[in-house]
Amino acid sequence: MNRIDNLFHQKKNNILSIYFTAGHPTLLSTADILTELEASGTDMIEIGMPFSDPLADGPVIQDSSAKALKNGMTIKGLFDQLTNIRQKVKTPLLLMGYINPVLQFGVEAFCKKCREVGVDGIILPDLPMDIYQESFKKYFEENDLRFIFLITPQTSDERILMIDSISNGFIYMVSSSSTTGAKGSIVSTQVAYFERVKALKLKNPLVIGFGISNRETFNRASSYANGAIIGSAFVKMLNETTDWKKGISDFVKQIN
């Protein structure tokens, strides 16, 4: 069973997913961060593939992406770093990024390499659903990769149901119509959106991302979904600490 499917089969609520950018803070920090996140009790991990024009990301993740590229991180370099990761890390791993670098690598080769190193799912927010279905779906399915679609407050019920019908793994529920970034609280308009989606009774699990930054926002989001994703707040912590091991452990403990 795919590790993402297995996670949602075993744990229905309060699933904590953490995002960070590969190659940041240092080129070779990726494997160490993964190891510490698993040891600290993170349920699922999203590894950002740095890109020069990350339009959906706020300043913290944009900055981490720029630094990672400056450090020399590439998709090939990331796969090299992940080659033996499954000897140490059992947590579900997803790669998140933009379609251009994947196209340059080659979608079929990319999917094969993901399976080879033990990646479980892919998030490419700028890959249109119809192009995915027509041109690339076969490569993801052949390699047992879960392709994760995003929905936003502007996504109609009809489209959400369509996404649900072709999805597996989980659906990434973007909490607001903005770029990524830590927010202090969840507001009433977001709650109305969460309740609208929850009422659709989708077959796939829901995980809420964008603006989740602390225990309060994590718990609130998790009351409307199966879990939540924290990115910018974690990346910011990595920027500010000199002791990753303690920093990661303390960060996860403050959420869970």
Catalytic (active-site) positions: 46, 57
**What is the Cα–Cα distance from 108 to 112, expressed in whole angstroms?**
6
Exposed, middle or buried, 201 (CB in 10 Å: 0-12/13-18/19+)? exposed
**What is the Cα–Cα distance from 169 to 7, expressed in whole angstroms?**
9
**What is the Cα–Cα distance from 192 to 103, expressed in whole angstroms?**
37
Residue 228 neighbours by CB under 8 Å, 6+ apart: 15, 16, 17, 207, 208, 209, 212, 217, 218, 221, 222
**What is the Cα–Cα distance from 98 to 89, expressed in whole angstroms?**
25
Residue given tokens 């009774």 in the structure block: 201
